[in-house]
Amino acid sequence: MASAAVVTAVETRLAANWATCPIRTINEDATPPADGGAFLVVQYPVANEEQMSIGSPGANVWREEGAFRIVIHGERGQGKDTYLGWADTLRALFRGKTFDGVQCFEASPATEDQTNEDGNYYKLSFAVAYDYDLIG
């Protein structure tokens, strides 16, 4: 899982730039909206940390590398255009951007397979690779 600084940076950027539907984050109630409308879930499935410099106790660079995942839960049966457009907009929000010490790289295209349909929702997900350096 990502460090607290990365989680805060990603969720702050997302909240400041996305008002299209509710956003669910770590350890929040993931219950779908009562009206059955669309919502996003942010996940942090993988992160690793590596020491990048040595010889300076307390001032070495440590690099966290990982990916966060955004899952769009769209209303089932509404077609592909709206939610693929949302995915492209969200990918562009993070792809190649640096904010609050987080450097984002590629944002994978949304996936489509037999797991996309989930009850009343059609799920599209994509992942964004990132680096985050800290001194310690």
- For the segment 30-47, the average pLDDT, to the nearest whole number, is 91
In this prediction, residue 30 has a pLDDT band, given cuts at 50, 70 and 90, of confident
Looking at residue 115, what is its pLDDT? 79
The number of residues in the chain equals: 136
Task: For tokens 């539907």, name the residue.
Answer: 21
Question: Could you give the C-alpha distances from 102 to 9, 22, 56, 74, in angstroms and in order?
Answer: 7, 23, 23, 28
pLDDT of 118 above 90: no
Token code pair at residue 131: 């680096």
Token code pair at residue 28: 């929040």
State whether the Cα torsion 124-121-86-82 is positive or negative.
Answer: positive
Looking at residue 29, what is its pLDDT? 77
Which CATH architecture describes the domain 4-135? 2-Layer Sandwich (3.30)
Domain ranges of the chain: 4-135
Whether residue 63 contacts residue 133, with contact meaning beta carbons closer than 8 Å, is answered with: yes
- Computed over every residue of the chain, the mean pLDDT equals 93
In this prediction, residue 128 has a pLDDT band, given cuts at 50, 70 and 90, of very high
Q: Cα angle vertex 87, ends 83, 88, to 5°?
A: 115
